[in-house]
Structure 1
Amino acid sequence: MSTRSEEFEELRPLLFSIAYRILGSVSEAEDAVQETWLRFSVSPTRPTSVKAFLSAVVTRISINVLRSARVRREEYVGPWFPEPLLTDPYQDPARSAELADSVSMAALLLLERLSPLERAVFVLREVFGFDFPEVASAVGRSEAACRQLAVRARRHMATGRPRFEADRRERQRLAERFFDAFRDGDLDGLRELLAADVHLVADGGGKTPQWGTGIIGADNVTRLFAALVPPFARIGGVVEPHEVNGQPGAIFRDRDGKVVNTWALDILDGRVQTIRTVINPDKLGHMGPVADAWAVLREANEARRPTD
């Protein structure tokens, strides 16, 4: 018979993936998973279904954390984005499409509109395919109540459901061209890959350089690239293409390899529709040492002056 530790470790990827989708935070999801283990390790009885028990515990912990987190997010400075997720540890070939799209920045921002209970029910039922008795047990509500919560959640999500390029390989190819052009300083190449109404928006949390509510329009975004791309290259900045929240994206690093920010691209109809960049250092620490974005900007400005 497996030990409790072995059973828990086998389910850890699922537990983290549930918690992350409810919370939108890597660090808070990891804390929720750890708290779940602590409760499981001291439980006096062995549950009939370990998966159902642990999923219920991590869901209830996540709901409680989310309720307090929503107050903080209402006071957040500037646009709020989830903490970037580079790799979703839970894989299920039968639900790969639901899993990938549900972890995108666009989908997680839609989930922010739901109440904590609606969000938990939607994640368990629509993303992970739990049946309603399991969902009801996890959130501590009746099956009838959970069905109503699911209907409301689906309705809210459907009104703003993000649209992505259907062919994931096409998304990846376009992203590769985009970041190749960025590294090469090819502004014309970048411009032709942008949708006319492209939106670039940054989450700095009031702690880093940011652009208000964002920059809209291909010409305006291209002008920003013209100001940023050449000096970033001159100071030794590195663009590292990487999937971010299940979508094409990149990690930007300074010359020492420290993380400056991440970009996640929404791609549709052969064009980049949205660029979401996370610069808030509090949201980047799980990826390694974080750069001082203000220092990087000052150095980039110094590098730009000789060509002004």
Structure 2
Amino acid sequence: MTRAEEFEELRPLLFSIAYRILGSVSEAEDAVQETWLRYAATPTSPVSVKAYLSAVVTRISIDVLRSARVRREQYAGEWFPEPLLTDPYQDPERSAELADSVSTAALLLLERLSPLERAVFVLREVFGFGFPEVASAVGRSEAACRQLAVRARRHMDAGRPRFEADRREREELAARFFDAFRGGDVDGLRELLAADVSMVSDGGGTSPQWGTGVSGAGNVARLLAALAPPFARIGGVVESCELNGQPGAIFRDRDGRVVNTWTLDILGGRIQAIRTVLNPDKLGHLGPVADAWTVVGETIRARRRS
């Protein structure tokens, strides 16, 4: 097997590691490409290609994250990870850990960790690497990595909801929600929303804050019911799909361009939060991006005419 073939075989794993450390599709792809360049330039062949490439992509991702954290601290408004349609790496033995770790809620919890804690947690808890491999990847002793893992696990466990909906329950509730949303059914929406549900959006300071800051089941239900019909009248489409392993949707304009995404946080049989990504810089990997200002303006005018 050639080096290029070995690398392509491991690319899904490398991307999945980088995405969980960085929370960014574009940055993860760049980290994987840089890993390939370094591997191609290495004069000797490593004993374990998987261990070597995983270590390289981890170190690159840590460096990128350190600089990215400064930008995120200065970010306008809420920062959410870039929406991920599908996780390319599949491992039946770790499917639960993989699915949980890519959710928007989990990625936001990972933001609380230091870059080293985050990398150790991802390698150890998500992908099941042994501590010798983790230590080699992050350049710390095994004892230090064990301490980092304990601290990271403590932070993650403290932030997790106590009871999570199972996958089938989430999917059924989401299907009912989107049916009610498309139909503008206020009562149908209200009964699916938690009393303190909130709508939060990531526009990066460059996009309209479409519904952000609205909270409470009644307020959110009325807003959603008023939004869907005029959006449909201007040719908008709400494409239900799974994003970051959670029920969600991609909103498209009449030409199929991406306007924004939604992910639904579901707990206790109710939708707790609706997270919207409107920042066009975070949507390009999903397809051509629409001008959200134009779409929102057209939707508002269509609503006034009704």
Moved over 3 A (4+): 162-166
How many positions carry a matched residue from both structures?
306
Aligned pair 1:171/2:179, yes or no?
A: no
Q: Note the C-alpha offset of 1:271.
A: 1.1
The alpha-carbon distance between structure 1 residues 199 and 164, as it changes in their structure 2 partners (threshold 3 A), is farther
* Corresponding residue of 1:260: 259
Q: What is the SS of the residue equivalent to 2:82? A: coil
Distance 1:258 1:173 in 2: 27
Distance 1:164 1:301 in 2: 38
Distance 1:217 1:52 in 2: 48
* Corresponding residue of 1:17: 16
Distance 1:202 1:36 in 2: 33
Deviations 1:128-147 (A, max 9, x none): 00010000000000001101
Instruction: State the TM-score, normalizing by the size of structure 1.
Output: 0.97
Q: Note the C-alpha offset of 1:268.
A: 1.6
Contact (CA 8 Å) 1:164, 1:266: kept in 2 or not?
Answer: no
* Corresponding residue of 2:125: 126
Distance 2:212 2:138 in 1: 35
Amino acid in structure 1 at the alignment position of 2:272: Q
Identical-pair percentage: 83
* Corresponding residue of 2:160: 161
* Corresponding residue of 2:73: 74
* Corresponding residue of 2:288: 289
Distance 2:74 2:297 in 1: 28
Q: Note the C-alpha offset of 1:66.
A: 0.3
* Corresponding residue of 1:36: 35
Contact (CA 8 Å) 1:111, 1:157: kept in 2 or not?
Answer: yes
* Corresponding residue of 2:144: 145
Amino acid in structure 1 at the alignment position of 2:174: A
Q: Note the C-alpha offset of 1:211.
A: 5.8
Distance 2:250 2:189 in 1: 17
Distance 2:65 2:255 in 1: 35
Distance 2:190 2:108 in 1: 27
Distance 2:161 2:114 in 1: 19
**Cα root mean square deviation, aligned:** 1.2
Distance 1:71 1:283 in 2: 18
Gaps in structure 1 of 5+ consecutive residues: none
1:172-191 equivalences in 2 (<5 Å): 172-191=171-190
The alpha-carbon distance between structure 1 residues 55 and 246, as it changes in their structure 2 partners (threshold 3 A), is same
Gaps in structure 2 of 5+ consecutive residues: none
Distance 2:154 2:164 in 1: 22
Instruction: State the TM-score, normalizing by the size of structure 2.
Output: 0.97
* Corresponding residue of 1:242: 241
